[in-house]
Amino acid sequence: MTRASGNNNNAEAFLDRAYPRMLRVSIVLAVAGALTAAALFGTAAGAGFVVGSAVGILNFIWLHRAVEALIHRMLQQPAVSSRLRMALAYVGRYGLVAIIAYAIFKSSTRAFGAFLAALPLPVLAAMCEAAYEALANVKDPDSANT
């Protein structure tokens, strides 16, 4: 194995672990945010943050699975799910978010605000992952895919 192929394998292994790292960071942010929201704004806000975090993380997981299914379909691998199932899952994800948001909106404005604040936690986790990967690359520039 040459040095270049060894570096590519190391970089690929590092990037393969990005999704689990993003999930862990999302969960840590969810716990910290829920505790902070509950302490500063009350239990309704804490509960809203928990529900928003759960919906955001679940949506992130479903989105990851949908992208994997599309990649498998594009690579001509045996399709695990049909087009209809993929389309229903896509519409269902956002329908679920809308139903939960409406229910929380009708119950408490503080909980609704916390719910909305928690929804993009996976995006923040992805930003943390990007910073982590950039720092790891600065620390070991030979690990970059070249």
pLDDT digits (tens, 9 = 90+) for 33-70: 999 999 999 999 999 999 999 999 999 998 888 888 77
Assess contact for 7 and 143: CB atoms under 8 A.
yes
92 vs 2, 89, 116, CA distance in Å?
A: 47, 5, 19
Centroid of chain to Cα 75:
24
Lowest model confidence (mean pLDDT) among 24-28, 91-95, 129-133, 142-146 = 142-146
Which residue in the block uniquely carries the two structure tokens 């190391």? 10
pTM for this prediction: 0.77
Q: Domain ranges in the chain?
A: 3-140
